[in-house]
Structure formats: C-alpha cells, structure tokens
Amino acid sequence: MATTIPLRVEDAPAPRDLRGRALTDLRISVLDRCNFRCPYCMPEEQYPRDHEFLGKADRLRFEEIERLARVFARLGVRKLRLTGGEPLLRRELPELVRRLAGVPGIEDLALTTNGSLLAAQAAALRAAGLGRITLSLDTLDAATFRTLSGGRGEVADVLAGIDAAVDAGFGRLKINCVVMRGINDAHAIGLLEHFRGSGHVVRFIEYMDVGTCNGWQRDRVVPSAELRARIHARWPLVPLEPDHASDVARRFAFEDGRGETGFISSVSAPFCGDCTRARLSADGKLYTCLFASAGHDLRSALRAGADDAELARLVAAVWTARADRYSEVRSDAAAIARERIEMYAIGG
C-alpha cells in the first residue's frame, strides 16, 4: 500500500501553466452514468439503456479520490466540485463529501446535479459538509423538460429537490440553463420569473460544442448579449463585479432588487485566459480543459504505489505544460476537427 506523507498545504509552490494560470479549482467526476439523456451532453441515440459505462473496479474509490484531493490541495486547489454523469447516482455519496470536507486547504465544496434525485439526499449531503449546490434546469415546461431529458425526467422532481435543498440549509442555489435556439430559448423569461426574488441565481449557458456526439450547430447558439437584451427589456439589469477573478459567469442584478442572474458565454465571449480549472474523470484521468481530447492517467500511478510527493509532481508537470484555449480558437479548422472527450465523462 502506498504511504501517505504528511504534507502541509504550503509545502509546494502553486504551479502555473504556460499562460500563467494557477490551478485553484478541481472538478471531480464521481461516475460516468446519468439517469437523463440530455441532447447536448448524452443523447439517447448515442447512449441507449444498454450502453456499457465504467465498471466499479475502473472507477476511483472514495479513498483514492480523497487522497488525490489532498494532493491537489497541496498544489493550491481551494475549490472542489463533484460532478458526473449524475453524481447522486454514486452510492454513499455523502461519505465522499464527508471525506473531502475534511481536506486541509479546501475552502469551497460544491456539487453539480440535475436535481432529480436531490430531494432524498439533500439533508444527508448538508450534514456531511457539502457547501453549495448548482442545479441544471433547462426549462419549467413539463413537456419540453421531458424531451430535453431524453424522456427520463420530470420537472416536478427537480423542483422538489430545490425545496429539499433549501429545507436542508443550502440557501441560495445556482440554477444553470443551457440555452438552445428554437428549443428552450423562449422559456428563459419564464424560468427567471419563477425564481426572481427566491434568492436562487439562474445562469444562462451558451450551447457549447463539448464532445463530438451532440450534433452542435452554431446557429443553435443564442449569444448571451442577445438573451441579456431580451431580459433587460422585461426587467432592467445592472452589471455586478465578479466574486472571484476566475468566475466564468458575468453577473447582473435586477434593478428592482429582486435578485440577480448570470451569463456563461464560452462561445461568444471566451474566458480561457482566466481558467483555473482542472477536471478529474471517474476513472482517474486528469483533464486540463473541458474540450480536451485526452487525459493524463493518475489512477495507474496511484494504484502502482506512488507516494503523495510523486503524485504532486505528476499533477504539477501536467499543469505546467498546459496551454489550452479551445474556446478562443474554436473557429480554427484543426480545433474543430479534433475529437474531444464527452462532457458526461468529466462534468460541465
């Protein structure tokens, strides 16, 4: 069994990539399965019910995830986010949350979920130490929601999950909506109207060409500026300063004081220059970009007996060689043609 060397967070200098970006955020995919089949992530025709996902032995165990999280914290990571697939499908997830909540140096522990299973687990997640929840909700229209989930979800379950999260003490949730022209863009105002004044923050994400199986077409993208103008015409907006320099969403408050909204504009206004996020897949591969074509295997080193210092050097070497800026060059023919990892494998 590998030895775990006691390490202080400040022992190693924080690595910076070739563009001077620090490593401060780690998104951890706890499994590659999902109970939805959203067309922009895991379309049904590509991932039918008999699709073969990772087996249990191929996924990182909780103790392995915790150990890697401690290594990343040593290198400067302060934020952890659990993703999937759908992370709430992973059995005993509150136990993983409890482990990660105790990692020295971690200041923010969050979860991204489709919310369909949240009602039954919100209280346990909160008790285990989860700090924040981001929830995906692309429409409030029941029929459209059913279609966008591949016929597998009901919007009522997600709304029940939101209520349960509030009851459990999570307070303000971030609610992400992927906007696609002609599919759900007409529902954006209704989504905002429902949550305005609730304390929750609805954020609109431009439809992105993540992976290679979602049939992405640029004419389906609704630029944030266009959507923001529609919203501003209904409820005047006032720009807000970002909470952190690396935040991907541009924040706007409602002028009437009824909360705020946000826009994530990876297509029309790329933010690669401020990206401080790495992604760890369920099978232990490190990805340095949401649009990466390949990852770096950490699981093999972990299971071969590498100690924490060796793992830290491996991660630092990957990060310091990083030059990713896909969103800034997506119009380049070579970038478009390159095969990319699917979003369900590494989270959004």
pLDDT digits (tens, 9 = 90+) for 299-334: 999 999 999 999 999 999 999 999 988 776 766 645
Does 166 map to a domain? yes
Tell me what pLDDT residue 348 has.
66
Tell me what pLDDT residue 214 has.
67
Counting Cβ atoms within 10 Å, is residue 20 exposed (0-12), middle (13-18) or buried (19+)?
A: exposed
Q: How far apart are CA 245 and CA 150, in angstroms?
A: 36
Mean per-residue pLDDT, 50-67: 92
SS3 content of the chain, % helix, strand, coil (to 5): 35, 15, 50
Least confident among 90-99, 191-200, 292-301, 329-338: 329-338
Query: What are the structure tokens assigned to 302, written together?
Result: 């972990």
Give the three-class secondary structure for 176: strand
Tell me what pLDDT residue 337 has.
47
Phi, psi for 176 (deg, rounded to 5): -95, 135
Quickly state the pLDDT bin for 213 (edges 50, 70, 90). low
Tell me what pLDDT residue 212 has.
66
Q: Which residues neighbour 328 within 8 Å (Cβ) at sequence distance 6 or greater?
A: 270, 272, 273
Question: Concatenated DSSP letters for 106-122?
Answer: --EEEEEE-STT-TTTH
Quickly state the pLDDT bin for 248 (edges 50, 70, 90). confident
Whether residue 85 is preceded by a cis peptide bond, meaning omega within 30 degrees of 0, is yes
Of 299, 259, 284, 303, nearest to 345 (Cα)?
284
Query: What are the structure tokens assigned to 88, written together?
Result: 């709430």
CB 134 within 8 A of CB 174: yes
Cβ-count burial 282-291 (b if 16+ within 10 Å, e if not):
bbbbbbbbbb
Does 4 map to a domain? no
pLDDT above 90 (res 219): no
Of 234, 171, 175, nearest to 199 (Cα)?
171
Does 2 map to a domain? no
Does 153 map to a domain? yes
Tell me what pLDDT residue 331 has.
63
**What is the chain's mean pLDDT, rounded?**
90
Does 1 map to a domain? no
Q: In this predicted model, which residue has the larger pLDDT, 40 or 112?
A: 112
Least confident among 22-26, 47-51, 111-115: 47-51
Mean per-residue pLDDT, 77-89: 96
Domain count, the chain: 1
pLDDT above 50 (res 138): yes
Does 126 map to a domain? yes
Quickly state the pLDDT bin for 264 (edges 50, 70, 90). very high
Tell me what pLDDT residue 143 has.
97
Does 3 map to a domain? no
CATH number at residue 28: 3.20.20.70
- Start-to-end CA span in the chain (Å): 33
Tell me what pLDDT residue 203 has.
98
Q: Look up tokens 């952190």; give the residue.
A: 244
Helix (H) / strand (E) containing 206: strand 201-206
pLDDT above 70 (res 89): yes
Q: How far apart are CA 37 and CA 89, in angstroms?
A: 14
Quickly state the pLDDT bin for 271 (edges 50, 70, 90). confident
Q: Which residues neighbour 132 within 8 Å (Cβ) at sequence distance 6 or greater?
A: 108, 109, 110, 111, 170, 173, 174
Q: In this predicted model, which residue has the larger pLDDT, 231 or 41?
A: 231
Does 342 map to a domain? yes
User: Which range of residues forms the domain containing residue 128?
Assistant: 9-346
Counting Cβ atoms within 10 Å, is residue 147 exposed (0-12), middle (13-18) or buried (19+)?
A: middle
